[in-house]
Amino acid sequence: MSMPLLTRTGWTVERLAELPDDGNRYEIIDGELFVTPAPALLHQNALFDLVQLLVAYVRAVELSLSFAPVDISFSASTSVQPDLLVLPLYHGKRPRAFSDVGVLVLAVEILSPSTARRDRTVKRVMYQKRNVPEYWIVDIDAHTIEVWRPADTEPHVCRDRLQWQPSPTHPPLDIDVTAFFAGLD
């Protein structure tokens, strides 16, 4: 099998599956290919710490948490790999594939120099168009977490605290944003 030509447009999930496992992250949004190098250690430290903050709560409210690399295919021309994602359960269990549930409860991207612009524009719009209830953009340099909801035109920027309540039947999770970033320094 030959390597597909890496043009930027006209991509499908089927073509994406033909790309090599070479350490890069390949995503397509509305048929446009995006290639991202492997994340830096600081990025992964932030991801690990965020997973630690969320995992017990997510289990308690009967949701499922996962993290990249995992393909989330919204259509034949859109497949992304959020750094962290929360899904509903599937028949009371964690889904085996995104297609089992077809929706995200939360998507999180941790900014990197190579992804910041895309995460704040193309991916944000894509998540909003697909009605992902919350999309967080973690900016390690600015020590902020931007919270976006489907109808937002501006983010809610969290510098001190972030409250997340995916269901009104459960109490919110309160995240100390200042402490989270202090743990990365």
Q: How confident is the model at residue 43 (pLDDT cuts 50, 70, 90)?
A: very high
Q: How confident is the model at residue 38 (pLDDT cuts 50, 70, 90)?
A: confident
- Residue 57 is classified by DSSP as H
b/e sequence 134-168, b meaning 16+ C-beta within 10 Å: bbbbbbbeebbbbbbeeeeeebeebeeebebebee
pLDDT at 69 (0 to 100):
87
Domain ranges of the chain: 40-182
2 has pLDDT over 90: no
In the predicted model, what is the mean pLDDT of residues 87-108? 94
User: Which CATH class, in words, describes the domain spanning 40-182?
Assistant: alpha beta
pLDDT at 146 (0 to 100):
98
pTM of the prediction? 0.91
80: exposed, middle or buried (Cβ count in 10 Å: 0-12, 13-18, 19+):
buried
